[in-house]
Amino acid sequence: MKSKSFNPSAAFFVISAIWFFCGCKTSVKTLPAGDTIRADVVSFDPASVQAVSDAPKFIYGPQTFSRITDINALSGSRLKMLQGGDLEIQETLGSVILSNQFGGFTIPNLDYRIANGIVKPTTSKSLTMLSAIYNFDTLVGAVESLTGIPENEFFKTSADLSVIYHPAVKVTAGGEVVKKYETTNAAYLAGSNQFALFMPGREEQVAMAYNAQIIAHEFGHSIFERSFFNNKFDRCTKGNYVEQKLFPGRLEQEFTVRGLNEGFADFVSFVWTGSGNILQSSLGISPATRERNFALIGFDYDDYSYSGSDICTGGYYCLGTLWAKTLFEVYQSRGLDPKNFELRKEFLRETVQLMSEVGKSLREFDGDRLPKPDEKMSKCEVREGLSPSYDEDLLAVFFEAVIENTETSKRKGYCDAISKYFGQTAFPDSARGDCK
């Protein structure tokens, strides 16, 4: 066990100051590894979400960790935090980052004291780290109830889930990617079971690094990877795939699939917190945070895809918002209460299962049902804008597979909701065969 950054004179000052000001029972020591940890963290208050469009409120106070058992290393069963190190980013697909190299991390340097058995972070950095790892701790503890996938299967191919705190970022891709990185303050590192938390931007009101809504969204990407991608997130390598419908990384890189992945992640965030207003608590009220609040959006696919439309400016995130809204509509069509956490989790378990079947359907027979790759895709180039008829063809086969893999008694809910938000344009009659 380590006692890190222990400074006797500072500790004496802290003890004296506390005795003097409050007289509460205090000891300065480190907790032995293996004890149940209770620590003061920033967490969200579920009771503050009355409507799905509400931004949750945050509370500060003691919470119990279920996974972290070593406070000095911030590690425990299936989960650990690492600090610093180098993260080489090759490409970002939304908040999913493709990275090759990470190394040089150290165990976190946490400054804290203990009062009445509760770990009290003494610097804002330590508070951020503890609060961030607390969010992952609770999500890891809930993996099976959220996904229906037993924990040992969820983690079977990977080492512990690591959360990398403030890595030094080396961007090896172009300048456009650098810009995107700056607006992505929490990210899932595809295929690696690692998450990265970057320095907060000036605009962040509640740091994304410990905002439960954002962390649940990132965790949602790891769930989508295990379900839709069958635990295998391939990278597209430059080549010439004109005649091939399915090649490694095609689905991962498609504009449409990136959007569906983002929407699924937003839906996981809703399941976790009850709120579909994903960004407002961190970034305030703005057109960009409003268009991501799927509970309130007033646009459909035609409004978004209409040439010259600026009703939604987030590119494939807009497809994601429509997909999250569609799932929410299906949830509501069954008369399920959005405030009921157990029902939300039950619905997500069904959705996770559905996504794994849909992914399988799209890949079977060498991707036979997929449209042929367009020029960019056939060379594995990333496209940042909608390519209407091409993306609509892909959406249509995705939706067709959704309906096909839904049990008959539940199909109507999906058929109605998908046609409401995607219309004939992206959900044409040819894809609705199983709706009848």
Interface residues toward Zn ion, by CB under 5 A? 94-95, 262, 265
Instruction: Give the SS3 label for residue 239.
Output: coil
Query: Nearest approach, Cβ of 434 to Zn ion (angstroms)?
Result: 30
The sign of the torsion formed by the CA atoms of 328, 334, 337, 343 equals negative
Query: Nearest approach, Cβ of 93 to Zn ion (angstroms)?
Result: 9
C-alpha Rg value of the chain to the nearest Å = 23
Query: Nearest approach, Cβ of 92 to Zn ion (angstroms)?
Result: 10
Tell me how far apart the alpha carbons of residues 352 and 198 are, in angstroms, rounded to a whole number. Answer: 28
Tell me how far apart the alpha carbons of residues 135 and 150 are, in angstroms, rounded to a whole number. Answer: 20
Query: Nearest approach, Cβ of 181 to Zn ion (angstroms)?
Result: 13
Residue closer to Zn ion, measured from CB, 41 or 177:
177
Tell me how far apart the alpha carbons of residues 227 and 363 are, in angstroms, rounded to a whole number. Answer: 13
For residues 71 and 77, is the Cβ–Cβ distance under 8 A?
no
Q: Which helix (H) or strand (E) holds 242?
A: none
Residue closer to Zn ion, measured from CB, 93 or 140:
93
Among residues 370, 391, 399, the alpha carbon closest in space to that of 315 is found at 391
Partners of 88 in the β-ladder: 101, 170
Query: Nearest approach, Cβ of 189 to Zn ion (angstroms)?
Result: 12
Query: Nearest approach, Cβ of 324 to Zn ion (angstroms)?
Result: 11
Query: Nearest approach, Cβ of 139 to Zn ion (angstroms)?
Result: 15
Structure tokens at 223: 């769930």
Residue closer to Zn ion, measured from CB, 264 or 422:
264
* Residues whose CB is less than 8 angstroms from the CB of residue 213 and which lie 6 or more positions away in sequence, other chains included: 44, 56, 269, 272, 273, 275, 278, 279, 281, 282
What is the DSSP-derived secondary structure letter of residue 53?
T
Residue closer to Zn ion, measured from CB, 97 or 130:
97
Query: Nearest approach, Cβ of 128 to Zn ion (angstroms)?
Result: 20
**Alpha-carbon dihedral 394, 399, 405, 406, rounded to 10 degrees:** 170
Residue closer to Zn ion, measured from CB, 134 or 224:
224
Report which residue's Cβ sits closest to Zn ion.
Answer: 95
Distance (Å) of CA 426 to CA 156, 208, 261, 292, 390: 37, 33, 17, 20, 10
Residue closer to Zn ion, measured from CB, 218 or 392:
218
Residue closer to Zn ion, measured from CB, 190 or 415:
190
Residue closer to Zn ion, measured from CB, 292 or 345:
292
Residue closer to Zn ion, measured from CB, 120 or 258:
258
Q: Classify each residue of 403-413 as buried b or exposed e, where b means 16 or more C-beta atoms within 10 Å of its C-beta.
A: bebbeeeebeb
* Residues whose CB is less than 8 angstroms from the CB of residue 301 and which lie 6 or more positions away in sequence, other chains included: 319, 322, 421, 422, 423, 425, 426
Query: Nearest approach, Cβ of 261 to Zn ion (angstroms)?
Result: 7
Residue closer to Zn ion, measured from CB, 128 or 185:
185
Concatenate the DSSP letters of all residues of 63-77 into one string. Answer: EE-SSEEETTTTEET
Tell me how far apart the alpha carbons of residues 388 and 414 are, in angstroms, rounded to a whole number. Answer: 22
Query: Nearest approach, Cβ of 95 to Zn ion (angstroms)?
Result: 3
Residue closer to Zn ion, measured from CB, 75 or 273:
273
Structure tokens at 330: 């299906």
For residues 307 and 84, is the Cβ–Cβ distance under 8 A?
no
Structure tokens at 100: 């090759």
Query: Nearest approach, Cβ of 278 to Zn ion (angstroms)?
Result: 9
Tell me how far apart the alpha carbons of residues 289 and 257 are, in angstroms, rounded to a whole number. Answer: 22
402 CB-side CA count, 13 A? 27
